[in-house]
């Protein structure tokens, strides 16, 4: 059985602040809140996973619930950053044709346990790659420190999902 004591890295989060408004960085933060690869996607997917696993795998359902709370914290951080950078912090992102609202259709909803865990793991790995790319591109130390701190949480989620996959094999 899994013995997971923490769903978030123990290091403190840096203060939520920005050096100055920046529309390009604001769009990046909105992407982290309201695109298909975003914190709201993780929150909604993990909520769903928790609900469908409650009767058959209660321990896994509880893990998904607790990870979703960490993801909600990330959603709050990125929303505040987007607002401080000058954007309206709705659940949307910007593409070539303007704003696009987030939709639950962004998520894939596999039900077999192995596929469900693989989907969650893939999402975390994609998120880490996205945040690493943003941290390398953004020239605001306040934002990059927050991105790097959030990456630590996402890495813990990767390890948890890998452990869960190992547990069912």
Please tell me the predicted confidence (pLDDT) of residue 154. Answer: 98
> What confidence tier does 114 reach under pLDDT thresholds 50, 70, 90?
very high
Give the domain extent around 27.
23-168
- The CATH number covering residue 126 comes to 1.20.1260.10
Phi, psi of 19 (to 5 degrees): -70, -40
CB 72 within 8 A of CB 43: yes
Rounded distance, CA 162 to CA 15, Å? 31
The tally of domains found in the chain comes to 1
Quick check: 17 pLDDT over 60? yes
Mean pLDDT value across the chain: 95
Q: Give a yes or no: residue 6 inside a domain.
A: no
CB 34 within 8 A of CB 152: no
CA–CA distances in Å: residue 11 to residues 86, 124, 128, 146, 160: 28, 19, 17, 11, 18
pLDDT in tens, 115-147: 999 999 999 999 999 999 999 999 999 999 999
pLDDT in tens, 31-76: 999 999 999 999 999 999 999 999 999 999 999 999 999 999 999 9
């Amino acid at each position: 059985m899994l013995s997971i004591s923490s769903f978030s890295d123990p290091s403190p989060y840096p203060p939520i602040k920005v050096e100055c408004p920046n529309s390009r960085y604001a769009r990046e933060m909105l992407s982290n809140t309201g695109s298909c690869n975003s914190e709201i996607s993780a929150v909604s997917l993990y909520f769903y996973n928790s609900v469908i696993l409650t009767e058959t795998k209660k321990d896994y359902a509880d893990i998904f619930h607790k990870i979703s709370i960490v993801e909600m914290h990330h959603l709050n951080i990125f929303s505040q950053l987007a607002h401080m950078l000058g954007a309206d912090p709705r659940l949307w992102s910007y593409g070539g044709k303007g704003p696009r609202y987030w939709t639950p259709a962004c998520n894939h909803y596999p039900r077999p346990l192995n596929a469900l865990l693989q989907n969650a793991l893939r999402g975390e790995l994609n998120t880490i790659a996205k945040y690493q790319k943003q941290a390398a591109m953004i020239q605001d130390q306040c934002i990059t420190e927050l991105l790097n701190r959030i990456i630590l949480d996402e890495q813990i989620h990767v390890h948890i999902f890998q452990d869960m996959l190992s547990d069912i094999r």
